[in-house]
Amino acid sequence: MRNSARLGLVLCAAVLCGQATAVRAQIPVDFGGHSHELQDLVDHRYGKHRIKVLNDYIGARGGDTDPWCWTNGQVGALTIRLLRVGSHQDAVGWYLENGSQPILPEGGGMLFGERCRAGQEAAVWFKRGGASMGFYVDAEKKKGRRADDDDDAPEAGNRERFYTNRLLNDAGPGGAGATHPPFDGDVQALVFDVSHLTGKPTWLVCFEDRDSGGRPTRTYRDAADEDDPEDEPEEMEHGRRTADNDYFDVVFEVTTDTYTPVHPITFGALKLRYR
C-alpha cells in the first residue's frame, strides 16, 4: 500500500531547527537491554557491523547536528518505507518545524494509521523548497497492568506523541523531569545517516514508543511473557510502564533526492530569504 501527502508550501515564517545549538551535539542515550534487536535489523539490511546502533546515531559525536530535522532545498518528494511496527496501536506522521512548536500540515500529517505494517510506503510531495520537517509517532500509553484491568477497555486521552526533534518531547517520565541526560528533551527517536550504504540520501529512523525519560528496563523478556501479567511484575514510574529503550518499536527508512540535513541559520539570514 502506498499513501501520499501533498503540501503547497507558501510559508513566510521561520523554519528553524535548533539554531545555535545545532552544532554542539554529543547526546547520550540511555539504552535498555534489547538493543541487539535493532542491531540485528540494521545488520540484515545494511551489512554486518556497517552501522553500530549504540554509537553511530546522529548526535552521538561532538559536532553532530542537534536537534535533528530535515530541510528541503528544492521541489521534490520524500519517500518513507516502514521496516517494523511493534504495536498495532502505533501511527506515524510528519510535521513542519518552526523553531519551537510543531506545525501539522493539512490533514494532520498522518502517513500510516493504526494497524500499519512493515512494507507500507508513503510519500510527502513539496511544491516549493525551504521547509524543515520531522516525524512523529502517536502511541498508546503503556500503563502498568493489574489483575482487575480490562485491556480492551477504551480510555479517553490514552495517546501520547513523540517527535524526532527531541526538544519537542517532554523531559522525564510524563514530563516530570529527566532522570538521566539529556535533561532538556527525551530522545524518543534515533536517526542514522545510511546514505553511504545505499548510494542516495537515506536515513534510518528508529522510535521508542514508550516515554524514554525514566529508567529503562534492563532485562530481556520474551514476547510471550508480555501477555501474562502474573509472570513478572511490571516496572512502573509515574503510573506508567517503563520504556525498554530498544528504539525498535517503529522503524522506517527515509529516502529523497532533494532533502538535506538542517544547517544552523541566523535570524538575519532568514529575513533575507523571506524578503
* pLDDT mean values, one per 10 residues, the chain (275 residues): 48 34 69 87 96 95 88 77 93 89 85 92 81 91 50 58 93 78 90 95 95 69 44 44 83 79 41 37
Domain ranges of the chain: 2-6+15-273
**DSSP of 87-151, one letter per residue?**
-TT-EEEEEE--SSS-B--TTTTEEE-TT--TT-EEEEEESSS--EEEEEEEEE--B---TT--T
Please give the pLDDT value at position 183.
Answer: 84
Please give the pLDDT value at position 105.
Answer: 84
Please give the pLDDT value at position 238.
Answer: 42
Residue 260: how many CB atoms within 10 A of its CB? 12
Report whether 243 contacts 211 (CB < 8 A): yes
Please give the pLDDT value at position 202.
Answer: 95
CA 166/CA 127 separation, integer angstroms: 27
Give the distance, in angstroms, between the CA of residue 165 and the centroid of all CA atoms in the same chain.
7
**Residues 129-138: b if buried by 16+ CB within 10 A, e if exposed:** eebbbbbbbb
CA 89/CA 273 separation, integer angstroms: 41
Please give the pLDDT value at position 4.
Answer: 54
Which three three-digit cell numbers place residue 2?
A: 502506498
Residue 195: how many CB atoms within 10 A of its CB? 12
